[in-house]
């Protein structure tokens, strides 16, 4: 049975992704199209059963009201005109408190099959991957993050040892992360995994560099260099796996975003490398929660599938100022303790993101009746929906105390633990 699809046409709404996710939760696959999509393109979209024209506060572009091509109303497909406040006209249905009910009723009207599920996605994608790849070989930069891990697991299921994974350890990963990648992919799933210990290369290049943007650039650059070298050693590889997901490609054409920090993700490779290969992007139509569900269904461990967001430059942006091995170790160890204590206290999964960072200052302390100069460690914990704004949870005092005792007792050279109470804005989540 072909996959049914309901198209969402973006008429300036900022809720398209939300509506698409709701439809998918109700079992119907959904894709988002820009307002200027042609009737022809919609008509030919595989499995299309209905159209939602989704208006919103951004329906004005360059001073003009935008509108869809009215030809889409003549395709013979059920159309729901809907919108959030700001766009309501007489013929537009407003999304109420429970869009899920409205969507459910619309699905029934379109006659769409509710045949979208994690398993149906995996079955269809494995088949599609086998068809695309044939007997050729695929290369994948496997960071151990959710997206690249799920791509790896899907590719292993589809084409097994035609896949080669390269895992670069840049020395800025959290405690035991590289070990987990090796254990899961090499030992449990039997993947061809090339482990590259590039710790010295990265740390040597970063020595003495304190400007945050320069640090990010060096880490991004060096990663590409290492990957290029490794790829150069391999013969006969025509395809490159990428962990692109749907939010990376959904355009919100009317949004204007200012860049506060350049985000670098190890794994996002530059054009000149990507162009040498044919791309394999099995997750490009999935939202993050769907990616996690696929990973789970493919047997990846919970700790990998539920991993918190982690910057591409890793602990590099949490070891403030010029990175030293000594402070890097302190941030890695304190972060591991923090995560252990959060888990023990049942806070895992209740707080969106939490980690430690280490500033580049020391302060006076006392150990064994003598004066010491040691580093502080800062706890950062935030709740957020989209990482654009964030609030700070009121952590139980006992948990904070337990973490403080353990970090100052177990991590050499740390004499203070601070809790950052600043919401975003005005602070960003990471300190650099």
Q: Interface with ligand XMP by CB under 6 A: which residues?
A: 260-261, 263-265, 309, 311-313, 353, 387, 424, 428-430
Nearer to ligand XMP, 27 or 309 (CB): 309
- Min dist CB 69 to ligand XMP, Å, is 36
- Min dist CB 129 to ligand XMP, Å, is 25
- Min dist CB 95 to ligand XMP, Å, is 27
- Min dist CB 388 to ligand XMP, Å, is 8
- Min dist CB 59 to ligand XMP, Å, is 28
- Min dist CB 261 to ligand XMP, Å, is 5
- Min dist CB 243 to ligand XMP, Å, is 11
Phi, then psi, of 52 in degrees rounded to 5: -115, 115
CA neighbor of 310 nearest in space, from 189, 144, 182, 188: 144
Nearer to ligand XMP, 252 or 362 (CB): 252
| H/E stretch holding 193 | strand 192-197
Asked if 405 contacts 365 with a C-beta cutoff of 8 angstroms, the reply is no
Asked if 154 contacts 291 with a C-beta cutoff of 8 angstroms, the reply is no
Nearer to ligand XMP, 50 or 267 (CB): 267
Please count the helices (runs of H) and the strands (runs of E) in the chain. 14, 16
Task: Give, in order, the Cα–Cα distances in Å from 389 to each of 258, 308, 357, 422, 423.
Answer: 14, 16, 20, 11, 8
Nearer to ligand XMP, 90 or 260 (CB): 260
Taking the alpha carbons at both ends of the chain, their separation in whole angstroms is 50
Nearer to ligand XMP, 136 or 261 (CB): 261
Nearer to ligand XMP, 81 or 264 (CB): 264
Nearer to ligand XMP, 10 or 147 (CB): 147
Asked if 19 contacts 8 with a C-beta cutoff of 8 angstroms, the reply is yes
- Min dist CB 48 to ligand XMP, Å, is 33
- 103 CB contacts (<8 Å, ≥6 apart)? 19, 22, 23, 26
Asked if 364 contacts 372 with a C-beta cutoff of 8 angstroms, the reply is yes
DSSP symbols for 52-67: EEEE-TT-EETTEE--
Q: 354: which 2 tokens?
A: 């939490």
Nearer to ligand XMP, 278 or 360 (CB): 360
| H/E stretch holding 247 | helix 246-249
**CA 163, CA 138: separation in Å to the nearest integer?**
5
- Min dist CB 420 to ligand XMP, Å, is 12
Q: 177: which 2 tokens?
A: 């992360």
Asked if 167 contacts 195 with a C-beta cutoff of 8 angstroms, the reply is yes
Nearer to ligand XMP, 30 or 244 (CB): 244
């Amino acid at each position: 049975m072909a996959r049914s699809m309901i198209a969402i046409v973006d008429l300036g709404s900022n809720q398209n992704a939300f509506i698409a996710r709701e439809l998918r939760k109700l079992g119907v696959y959904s894709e988002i199209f820009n307002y200027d999509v042609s009737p022809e393109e919609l008509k030919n979209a595989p499995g299309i059963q209905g159209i939602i024209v989704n208006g919103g506060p951004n329906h004005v572009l360059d001073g003009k009201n935008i509108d869809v091509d009215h030809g889409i109303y003549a395709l013979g497909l059920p159309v729901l005109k809907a919108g959030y406040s700001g766009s309501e006209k007489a013929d537009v249905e407003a999304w109420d408190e429970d869009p899920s009910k409205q969507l459910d009723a619309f699905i029934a009207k379109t006659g769409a099959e509710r045949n979208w599920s994690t398993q149906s996605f995996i079955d269809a994608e494995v088949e599609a991957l086998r068809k695309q790849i044939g007997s050729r070989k695929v290369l994948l930069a496997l960071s151990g993050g959710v997206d690249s891990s799920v791509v790896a697991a899907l590719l292993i299921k589809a084409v097994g040892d035609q896949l080669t994974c390269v895992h670069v350890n840049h020395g800025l990963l959290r405690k035991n992360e590289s070990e987990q990648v090796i254990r899961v992919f090499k030992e449990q799933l039997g993947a061809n995994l090339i482990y590259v210990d590039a710790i010295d290369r990265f740390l040597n290049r970063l020595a003495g560099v304190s400007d945050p943007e320069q640090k990010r650039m060096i880490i991004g650059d060096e990663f590409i260099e290492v990957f290029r070298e490794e790829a150069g050693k391999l013969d006969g590889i025509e395809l490159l796996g990428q962990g692109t997901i749907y939010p990376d490609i959904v355009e919100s054409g009317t949004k204007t975003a200012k860049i506060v920090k350049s985000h670098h993700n190890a794994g996002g490779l530059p054009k000149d490398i990507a162009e040498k290969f044919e791309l394999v992007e099995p997750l490009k139509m999935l939202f993050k929660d769907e990616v996690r569900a696929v990973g789970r269904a493919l047997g990846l461990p919970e700790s990998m599938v539920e991993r918190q967001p982690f910057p591409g430059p890793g602990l590099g942006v949490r070891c403030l100022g010029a990175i030293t091995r000594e402070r890097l170790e302190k941030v890695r160890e304190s972060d591991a303790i923090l995560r252990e204590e959060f888990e023990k206290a049942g806070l895992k999964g209740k707080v969106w993101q939490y980690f430690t960072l280490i500033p580049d200052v020391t302060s006076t302390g006392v150990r064994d009746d003598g004066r010491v100069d040691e580093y502080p460690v800062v706890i950062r914990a935030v709740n957020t929906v989209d990482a654009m704004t964030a609030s700070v949870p009121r952590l139980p005092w006992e948990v904070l105390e337990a973490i403080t005792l353990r970090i100052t007792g177990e991590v050499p050279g740390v004499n203070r633990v601070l809790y950052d109470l600043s919401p975003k804005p005005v602070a960003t989540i990471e300190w650099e």
